[in-house]
Structure 1
Amino acid sequence: METALLFVIGIVVIVVGLVLSIGLHEIGHLIPAKRFGVKVGQYMIGFGPTLWSTQRGETEYGVKAIPLGGYISMSGMFPPQKTVEVAEDALVGAAAGPGARTATTSIFGTLTQDARDASAETVAPGEDDRTFYRLAVPKRIVIMLGGPVMNLLIAIVLYAVVLCGFGTQQVSTTVGSVSECVLPASSTATSCPAGATPSPGAAAGIRPKDTIVSIDGTQITSWTQSTAIIQKSAGTTLDVVVRRDGALKTLHVTPLRSERYKTDSSGNYVLNAAGKKETEEVGFVGIGAAYERQQEPLTAVLPAVWSNVTEVGSLIVHLPQKVVQTAESTFTGQKRDPNGPVSVFGVGRLAGEVATLHSVPILDRLSTLVGLLASLNVALFVFNLIPLLPLDGGHIAGAIIEGVRRFFAKVFKRRDPGPIDIAKAAPLTMAVVAVLGVMSAILIYADIVNPISLG
C-alpha cells in the first residue's frame, strides 16, 4: 500500500510540475504580448474540453482536460492574403478553365486560406492595429521567445535547487568498503575462496568510515589523488594516516601488484585488437570510497544546464532514428535504450519508480524528482525552438525571414515587401503535427508495454 502511494505521489509531483511549467511558459508569451498591445483572447493550459475558465478583461483564462500543452490566442497571427495574390489566383483559375482546380488550390491553398480565415476571426472590427502580424519584427521575436526562455529560467532555478540546495553525491576521502582478499580483474567470484591472499587494506587494519588524511606525508584532498599514489606504489610500504572516531591513526600499508582492466581518460574500458578488455598491473590496496552529499557553488549551475541542453539537442536531431529504434525494440521484445526518448507518460512512470526506492534516502529521491522537472523544462526549451510551425521556433524563423527581406528591400531602395505570409506554411504545419502525433503515440505505447525502468 505504501509503495503504491509513493508511486502515485511521484507521478503527481511530475504532473503538477509539468502543468506549472506549461502555465509559466504561456505567461512568458502573455506578458510581452499584452505589453506590446496585442489583443489576447484566451490563455489556456491544456487542450480539449474546458474544465474551468474565467474572464478577466478581454482575456479568458482557463484549464482544459488534457494537460499536455497550452496556448494563448493572439489577435491576427497571420496577415490577410494580399490583393495581388488574389488576382493571380483568379487568373490561374480562369486559365485552367471552368470548374478546374489545381492540386495546390484544392489542398495546400485550402489549408492556407483556412489558417488565414481562423486568424481573421480573432481580429475585432476597428482593432487591426492590435494584431500580432503588425508588430515590429523584434517585438514578435520577444513574444515567441518568452515561452521557451521561461522554461530555461525554470530549469536554471531547479538546477540551482538540486546542485546548491540538495547537493550531489560525490566521491569523498572516506573509506566506504574494504575488500577481504585480492582477486584478479578477470575473476567472477563474489566471495573470497579458501587460501586467497588478504587484501593489503584489510591486513593493515583499514576500516570503513576511516577518512584518509595523508599518504607518506602527502595531504589527501581527493580519492583520485590517493588512488594515483597507491597504483604507482606496488610493493612499497606506505604510511597512511586516517581519522577514526575523531582521532588520527597511522597504518602501514603495502600495495600488492594486481591486474585490473585498463581505462581511458573518460573511464571507458580500453579494448585490444580482438575486442577484449586490456589489463594492466597496478598497486592494489582493496578499499573503496564512500559517497557524501556535497553542495556545489552557483557557478556549477549554468554548465550543468548547458550540458543538459546539448544532450537534448543531440537527442532531438536524432529523434526520428531514436523513435524507430524504440519501436523496433518494443515490437521485438528487446530492452530499450535507457538514454532514448520517452513520452510524458514515461517521465511520470520514472518519477513514480524514484519515489518508491526505499533503499534510497528521501533527500536523494526528492533531488531526483526536482532534477527530472529541470530536465523536462530544458526539453521544453529546446523543443520549442525548432524552427517549424506550430512551434515557437517556427514563428521566430518567420519573423527573422521577414526582417531580413525588409532590410534588403530598404538597402536596395525597393518597395517594402510587407509582412511575410506565414500562413502559407499551414500545410507544413499539418505535416509536422501529424509526424509529432505519430512519434508521441509510439513513445506512449512503448512506455506502457516496454518501459524504461530504474531496476
Structure 2
Amino acid sequence: MSALLYALGILLIGIGLAVSIALHEIGHLVPAKRFGVRVTQYMIGFGPTVWSRRRGETEYGIKAIPLGGYIRMIGMYPPHKGDAPGTIREDSTGFFQQMSDEAKEWESSQYSPEEQHRTFVNLSVPKKLAVMLGGPFMNLVLSVLLLAVLLIGFGLPTTTAEVKSVSQCVVPATAPPDADCAGMPPAPAAAAGIRPGDEITAIAGEPVGDFQDLSRIVRAHPDQEIEVELVRDGAPMTLTVTPLSNDVVSLDADGRPIIGEDGAPRTEKAGFLGVSGTQAMVRQPITSLPGMVWDTFAGTAKVVLTLPMRLWDIGVTVFSDQPRDPNGPLGVVGVSRLAGEVVSADAPGFEAKERAFTLISMLASLNMALFVFNLIPLMPLDGGHVLGALIEGARRQAARLRGRPDPGPVDMSRMLPVTNVVALAFIGMSVLLLYADIVKPIRMFGP
C-alpha cells in the first residue's frame, strides 16, 4: 500500500508539473496566434515525439523527455538586410558568423516570402514582449492561484492561543534541559487556574489573535497583575494572573529566537506565563495574499541569484561526507521523491489535509521558480528574447531621436554561441541535480 501511495505522489506532482509547463507554452501560443504569427509546433517535453496531432497549421504533441516544452514560430531570426526570406549571402566568414547564417538559412526556409508578415521577427516590440512574457506570466498566475488556495482554503500552520499545556513551575531558559520543578516557583498560569483547552482571547485588555500575540503581551508585563480573558467549554471567563520575570529566549520581530555569536540563543528578562499554544491550520484573509506572494517570489529569486554557488555546494557535498543543504535546489527526481514521501509517509499528525497542503505548496513554489528562472536574460530562456526585444526598442527609439533610419530588429542569431553554452550549462546542472537526488536525496521525514 505504501509503495502505491508513493507512486501516486509521484504521479500527482508529475501531472501538476506537466500542466504547469503546458500552460506556460499556452501563454506563448495564444498571443503569438493572436498577433498573426504562424506557429508550427506546440510541444510538451523534448526529444523523440511520443504523440502528436495537427490542428490547422500547428502540430500539437508530447515528447519523450518531460523537462520543459516549447512552441515553434516561423521567422525567429531576421533575414539579411536586402535579402528575401530563403536566401543567404555567400560572403560569410568565421565560425560564429557561419553558425548565425546557417540558422537564418534554416529559419527562412520554413516559410515563403509571402509569409514574411507572419514571422515573429516582424512583430513590434510590445507584441514581442507580450509573446515572450506570456509563458512566465502564466506560471506567476498559477503560483498566485495556488497560494490563494492554501491561504483561504487550507490556512497556514499557526500556533493558536488555545492552551495545549500548562507548565507547573517557572524554569529559567538558562537551566539545564533535565531540570525539574524542585525549588522552582509555581508557574503563573497554573496558579491562576488556566487549563489546557482554554482559548485565550485577550490579555491586559489587548485582543489575542494567535500565540505570538499572547507571548508578546505577556513578555511586556513582568511582575504586573493583568487580566486574562478566555473561553472555556464555550463560556467566557476572566482570570487574574501575574507573569513572573524570568530569563527567556530573546525573539526577533517575527518571533524567531535570536542567536548570539557563540551560536547559543540570547536570553533576556521578560514576563513568563507558562502555557504552550496549539498547532492548527488557520485560514487567512485574502489581504494576506500579496505578502505571501512577495515572500515566495523573494525567496525564489534569492535561490536563483545564488544558483551557481548552491550548485557548487551540491557538487562538493555529493563527493564528500558533508550533509546536503535541505533548502537547496532540487531536480525532477528530488521533487518526485518528496512528493512520494508526502503522500505515503506515516507521520503523526500528517493526515490527508496536510498532505494536500504540502503538494499544493510544492506546485506553487515550482511555478514561481518557473516564472523567475525564465526571466533570466540569457538565451534560450524567455528572458533572453525579452532582453533582445528591449534592446531593439531602445535602438529604434535612439535612431528616431537622432533622425536616423530604423536599424531594424535585433539579430538574435548572433547569440547562438552563448545560447549553446547556456544550454550545455543547463544540461550539466540537470545531470548534477539528478546525481545528487539519487546519491544524497533530500528527505522530508528523515532517513
TM-score by length of 2: 0.90
Q: Establish whether residue 183 from structure 1 lines up as the match of residue 171 from structure 2.
A: yes
Amino acid at match of 1:404: A
- Is residue 175–residue 210 contact of structure 1 (8 Å, CA) maintained in 2? yes
- Return the alpha-carbon distance in structure 2 between the equivalents of residues 89 and 111 of structure 1: 13
C-alpha displacement at 1:354, in angstroms? 2.0
- Is residue 168–residue 181 contact of structure 2 (8 Å, CA) maintained in 1? no
Deviation per CA, 1:380-433, whole angstroms, max 9, x where unpaired?
111111111111111111111112112222222212222221100000000000
Q: Establish whether residue 326 from structure 1 lines up as the match of residue 288 from structure 2.
A: no
- Return the alpha-carbon distance in structure 2 between the equivalents of residues 376 and 7 of structure 1: 20
- What is aligned with 1:41? 40
Q: Establish whether residue 435 from structure 1 lines up as the match of residue 412 from structure 2.
A: no
- Is residue 46–residue 69 contact of structure 1 (8 Å, CA) maintained in 2? yes
Q: Give matches, 1:156-167, under 5 Å.
A: 156-167=144-155
Q: Establish whether residue 384 from structure 1 lines up as the match of residue 384 from structure 2.
A: no
Indicate how the Cα distance of structure 1 residues 192 and 442 shifts in structure 2: closer, same or farther if over 3 A, else same.
Answer: same
Equivalent residue for 1:212, pick from 188, 200, 214:
200
- Return the alpha-carbon distance in structure 2 between the equivalents of residues 269 and 323 of structure 1: 29
Segment of structure 1 superposing worse, 346-355 or 383-392: 346-355
Q: Which runs of 5+ in 2 are unaligned?
A: none
Q: Establish whether residue 416 from structure 1 lines up as the match of residue 406 from structure 2.
A: yes
- Return the alpha-carbon distance in structure 2 between the equivalents of residues 277 and 300 of structure 1: 30
Identity %: 46
Q: Establish whether residue 258 from structure 1 lines up as the match of residue 246 from structure 2.
A: yes
Deviation per CA, 1:415-452, whole angstroms, max 9, x where unpaired?
22222211000000000001111112112211221122
Deviation per CA, 1:80-136, whole angstroms, max 9, x where unpaired?
23469x87946xx6xxxxxxxxxxx13x23332332233223224532221111111
- What is aligned with 2:386? 396
- What is aligned with 1:53? 52
Indicate how the Cα distance of structure 1 residues 410 and 216 shifts in structure 2: closer, same or farther if over 3 A, else same.
Answer: closer
- What is aligned with 2:334? 346
- Is residue 304–residue 373 contact of structure 2 (8 Å, CA) maintained in 1? yes
- Is residue 74–residue 122 contact of structure 1 (8 Å, CA) maintained in 2? no
Equivalent residue for 1:364, pick from 329, 336, 354:
354
SS class of match (1:169) = strand
Indicate how the Cα distance of structure 1 residues 152 and 451 shifts in structure 2: closer, same or farther if over 3 A, else same.
Answer: same
SS class of match (2:43) = strand
Indicate how the Cα distance of structure 1 residues 191 and 246 shifts in structure 2: closer, same or farther if over 3 A, else same.
Answer: farther
Q: Which runs of 5+ in 1 are unaligned?
A: 94-104
Segment of structure 1 superposing worse, 232-241 or 299-308: 232-241
- What is aligned with 2:13? 14
Q: Establish whether residue 335 from structure 1 lines up as the match of residue 334 from structure 2.
A: no
Equivalent residue for 2:126, pick from 138, 143, 164:
138
- What is aligned with 2:230? 242
- Return the alpha-carbon distance in structure 2 between the equivalents of residues 18 and 226 of structure 1: 41
- Return the alpha-carbon distance in structure 1 between the equivalents of residues 64 and 240 of structure 2: 68
Segment of structure 1 superposing worse, 363-372 or 342-351: 342-351
SS class of match (2:443) = coil
Amino acid at match of 2:8: I
Indicate how the Cα distance of structure 1 residues 68 and 275 shifts in structure 2: closer, same or farther if over 3 A, else same.
Answer: closer
C-alpha displacement at 1:269, in angstroms? 4.0
- Return the alpha-carbon distance in structure 2 between the equivalents of residues 437 and 285 of structure 1: 56
- Is residue 180–residue 192 contact of structure 1 (8 Å, CA) maintained in 2? no
Amino acid at match of 2:409: P
Equivalent residue for 2:216, pick from 221, 225, 228:
228
- Return the alpha-carbon distance in structure 1 between the equivalents of residues 261 and 149 of structure 2: 46
Indicate how the Cα distance of structure 1 residues 301 and 242 shifts in structure 2: closer, same or farther if over 3 A, else same.
Answer: closer
- Is residue 39–residue 131 contact of structure 1 (8 Å, CA) maintained in 2? yes
- Return the alpha-carbon distance in structure 1 between the equivalents of residues 116 and 204 of structure 2: 81
Amino acid at match of 1:75: I
- What is aligned with 1:425? 415
Indicate how the Cα distance of structure 1 residues 164 and 123 shifts in structure 2: closer, same or farther if over 3 A, else same.
Answer: same
SS class of match (1:290) = strand
C-alpha displacement at 1:220, in angstroms? 3.9
- Is residue 210–residue 243 contact of structure 1 (8 Å, CA) maintained in 2? yes
Amino acid at match of 1:127: E
Q: Establish whether residue 153 from structure 1 lines up as the match of residue 141 from structure 2.
A: yes
C-alpha displacement at 1:200, in angstroms? 3.1
SS class of match (2:40) = strand
Indicate how the Cα distance of structure 1 residues 214 and 146 shifts in structure 2: closer, same or farther if over 3 A, else same.
Answer: closer
- Return the alpha-carbon distance in structure 1 between the equivalents of residues 216 and 439 of structure 2: 46
- Return the alpha-carbon distance in structure 1 between the equivalents of residues 409 and 214 of structure 2: 66
- Return the alpha-carbon distance in structure 2 between the equivalents of residues 410 and 180 of structure 1: 80
SS class of match (1:135) = coil
Amino acid at match of 1:205: G
- Is residue 158–residue 210 contact of structure 2 (8 Å, CA) maintained in 1? no
C-alpha displacement at 1:194, in angstroms? 5.5
Deviation per CA, 1:263-300, whole angstroms, max 9, x where unpaired?
33344544556565432222222201113322222222
- What is aligned with 2:104? 116
C-alpha displacement at 1:213, in angstroms? 3.5
Amino acid at match of 2:51: W
> What do you get for the CA RMSD once the two structures are aligned?
2.5
- Return the alpha-carbon distance in structure 2 between the equivalents of residues 271 and 408 of structure 1: 54
Amino acid at match of 1:28: G
Indicate how the Cα distance of structure 1 residues 110 and 180 shifts in structure 2: closer, same or farther if over 3 A, else same.
Answer: farther
Amino acid at match of 2:14: V
- Return the alpha-carbon distance in structure 1 between the equivalents of residues 204 and 295 of structure 2: 39
C-alpha displacement at 1:341, in angstroms? 1.4
- Is residue 171–residue 181 contact of structure 2 (8 Å, CA) maintained in 1? no
C-alpha displacement at 1:207, in angstroms? 2.1
C-alpha displacement at 1:252, in angstroms? 4.5
- Return the alpha-carbon distance in structure 1 between the equivalents of residues 353 and 389 of structure 2: 45
